[in-house]
Structure 1
Amino acid sequence: MSSNDTPHTDPRDEKPQFVLPLVVRIERDAPPSRTDALETAARAVLEFLGDERSTGEGAWARAVADWEDARIRKVVRRARGAEWRRAAALPGLTVTGAEAEVRVFPPVPLDGWPKELARLQVSGTDLDDPAAPGPVPDGAVTLWVNPELTMTAGKAMAQAGHGAQLLWWAMDDADRKAWREAGFPLAVRTASPGHWAALTASHLPVVRDAGFTEIAPGPTIVSEGSARFAAHLRLRTDLPAGVRPPDLENTPRER
Structure 2
Amino acid sequence: MDSLAAAHSLLVDRLESDYRARTEDPEDPSTVQAMQLAINLPRDAPPTREEVLRDAAVAVVKLCLDPRAGEDGFWRDGLDRWYSHRIRKVARRARNKAWADVQALPGVTHGCVRAFVPSAVSEVPKPISKLQVKGTDVPPSAPSPDDATLPTLYINADLHMSAGKAAAQAGHGSMLLAAAMTVESVREWEGRGYLVNIREVAAAELARHAAAHGAVVVRDAGYTEVAPGSQTVVAVPAPATARPGA
How far the C-alpha of 1:74 sits from its partner, in A, is: 0.8
Contact 1:140 1:228 (8 Å CA) reproduced: no
How far the C-alpha of 1:233 sits from its partner, in A, is: 8.9
Residue aligning to 2:238: 226
The aligned runs of 1:1-255 (5 Å cut-off) are 10-14=20-24, 16-96=31-111, 101-129=112-140, 131-201=141-211, 204-217=215-228, 218-227=230-239, 229-230=241-242
Q: Call closer, same or farther: CA 1:146–1:232 in 2, change over 3 Å.
A: farther
- Which deviates the most, 34-43 or 86-95? 86-95
- Which deviates the most, 196-205 or 120-129? 196-205
How far the C-alpha of 1:126 sits from its partner, in A, is: 0.6
Counterpart amino acid of 1:226? A
When Rg is computed on C-alpha atoms for both structures, the one with the higher figure is: 1
Consecutive unaligned residues in structure 1, runs of 5 or more: 1-8, 235-255
Q: Within 2, Cα distance between the matches of 1:49 and 1:172?
A: 15
Q: Call closer, same or farther: CA 1:193–1:154 in 2, change over 3 Å.
A: closer
Q: Within 1, Cα distance between the matches of 2:146 and 2:120?
A: 36
- Which deviates the most, 53-62 or 25-34? 53-62
Counterpart amino acid of 1:43? V
What's the C-alpha RMSD, in Å, of the aligned pairs?
2.1
The normalised TM-score by structure 2 is 0.83
Q: Call closer, same or farther: CA 1:90–1:185 in 2, change over 3 Å.
A: closer
Q: Within 2, Cα distance between the matches of 1:233 and 1:31?
A: 42
User: Sequence identity of aligned pairs in percent?
Assistant: 39
Q: Call closer, same or farther: CA 1:233–1:118 in 2, change over 3 Å.
A: farther
SS at match of 1:60: helix
How far the C-alpha of 1:193 sits from its partner, in A, is: 4.1
Consecutive unaligned residues in structure 2, runs of 5 or more: 1-18, 26-30
How far the C-alpha of 1:70 sits from its partner, in A, is: 0.6
Q: Within 1, Cα distance between the matches of 2:173 and 2:78?
A: 20
1:136-160 deviations in Å (ceiling 9; x for gaps): 2121111111232111100000000
Q: Within 1, Cα distance between the matches of 2:211 and 2:191?
A: 31
Q: Within 2, Cα distance between the matches of 1:65 and 1:22?
A: 18
Q: Call closer, same or farther: CA 1:145–1:172 in 2, change over 3 Å.
A: same
How far the C-alpha of 1:12 sits from its partner, in A, is: 2.1
Q: Aligned residue pairs: how many?
A: 221
Q: Within 2, Cα distance between the matches of 1:209 and 1:194?
A: 17
Q: Within 2, Cα distance between the matches of 1:111 and 1:158?
A: 19
1:191-214 deviations in Å (ceiling 9; x for gaps): 344322223455621111011011
Counterpart amino acid of 2:113? V
SS at match of 1:13: coil
Larger proportion of helix: 2
Contact 1:225 1:231 (8 Å CA) reproduced: no
The normalised TM-score by structure 1 is 0.80
